[in-house]
Amino acid sequence: MAAVSKPAAPSKRDNRAADRTGLFDERFLKTLEHLHMVSRKVFSGALRAERRTRKVGSGIEFADHRTYARGDDFRYIDWNLYGRLDKLLLRLFEEEEDLHIYILIDVSDSMAIGQPLPKLHYAMQVGAALTYVGLANLDRVAIIPFSDRLIGRLPPSRGKNRIFRVFDFLQKCDIGGKTQLAECMKDFVTQNKRRGLAVVISDFYDPEGFEQGINTLRYHKFEPFVLQVYDQREAAPKLHGDLALVDCETGDTREVTVSRSLLEAYEREHEKYCKELEDYCTKYAMPFFRTHTAIPFDELVLKIFRSGGFLR
């Protein structure tokens, strides 16, 4: 699906920060706060502890017993059981871990396409909105852009005052290159040992397909959350006649005669590819959302919240 009829886009990796300066204005901030308030209402009945992973440690909630061994702390011996069973048993407790959320945003050249917003800008706004809600709920959120490699990283942080660092990072991060999901996800799981929710925001136009990359996340015990962004002109292009189509990531050119029957065949193939991605996610019970850039980003985020796909 990489070689689809899309306008040519710069294939040189650059730092087009000026194009992104208006993404996170005061109106955007007000929308984020509104989304946060809605998320609190939607999940008002859920305890935040339910959204965190647990391990056995030195917390306050009893988990189990184990046999005392030399060197263990006497303070954790269950003396009541010792009196009844004449055995030294240690009390174990559950310890909360913060939920780690990784926002992986595709910044390849194919993401430069889109109206009224380029897919890249739309993906960054959605990513920033999900980040803000995660930060406000005291989860640890990291931002990781990718294309043919991981392009920088904003380390995990918590607290909604950190959102301005997120804005600055997204406005300045390098963009461009081909989409190579499999290699990027392989590098991601190598560099991030703390498991958590991995939100992948992309058009998924990878010539090698999507399965290997997402499978890498699954096999390494991350929780994939798949969000596909597309432009309506990609799904139903308005083209006709003899044209030279340029792949915006590779620069490859193909001369074709575009007829109505060819457009219909292309539209079927595009829909088939997107449906394969959706069916794959459904098969493995992974949250999946597909959207085009004409849908306001906050409508998409509200849909995600109301489905229970992000905050659990």
Segment (H or E) for 36: helix 26-42
pLDDT digits (tens, 9 = 90+) for 269-287: 999 999 999 999 999 999 9
pTM of this prediction?
0.80
What percent of the chain lies above the pLDDT cut of 70? Answer: 83
Give residue 50's pLDDT band: very low, low, confident or very high (50, 70, 90): very low
> What pLDDT score does 43 carry?
59
Q: What is the amino acid identity at position 284?
A: Y
- Tokens standing for 212? 């290997």
Q: What would the mean pLDDT of 52-72 be, rounded to a whole number? A: 61
The pLDDT value recorded for residue 11 is 39
Angle formed by the axes of helices 163-172 and 119-136, nearest 10°: 160
Residue 57 in this model has a pLDDT that exceeds 60: no
Return d(Cα 278, Cα 284) in angstroms, integer.
10
Burial environment of residue 135 by CB neighbours within 10 A (0 to 12, 13 to 18, 19 or more): buried
Residues 249, 109 contacting (CB under 8 angstroms): yes
Contact predicate 109/10, CB 8 Å: yes
Burial class (CB in 10 A: 0-12, 13-18, 19+), 94: middle
- In the chain, helix, strand, coil percent, each to 5? 40, 25, 35
pLDDT at 73 over 50: yes
Alpha carbon distances (Å) from 40 to 34, 70, 72, 133, 256: 10, 47, 42, 9, 52
Backbone φ, ψ for residue 45 (5° rounding): -85, -5
Cis peptide before 296 (omega within 30 of 0): no
CA 179 to the chain's CA centroid: 15
Q: How confident is the model at residue 297 (pLDDT cuts 50, 70, 90)?
A: very high
CB burial of residue 50 (10 Å; 0-12, 13-18, 19+): exposed
Rounded CA separation 204/2 (Å): 9
SS3 61: strand
Model confidence at 204, pLDDT cuts 50, 70, 90, reads very high
**Helix axes 211-219 and 260-283, enclosed angle (nearest 10):** 10
Alpha carbon distance 201, 307 (integer Å): 17
- Domains annotated on the chain, with CATH: 17-45+98-307 (3.40.50.410), 54-97 (no CATH)
- Sorted by sequence, the CB contacts under 8 Å of residue 174 that are 6+ apart come out as 13, 14, 15, 107, 145, 151, 152
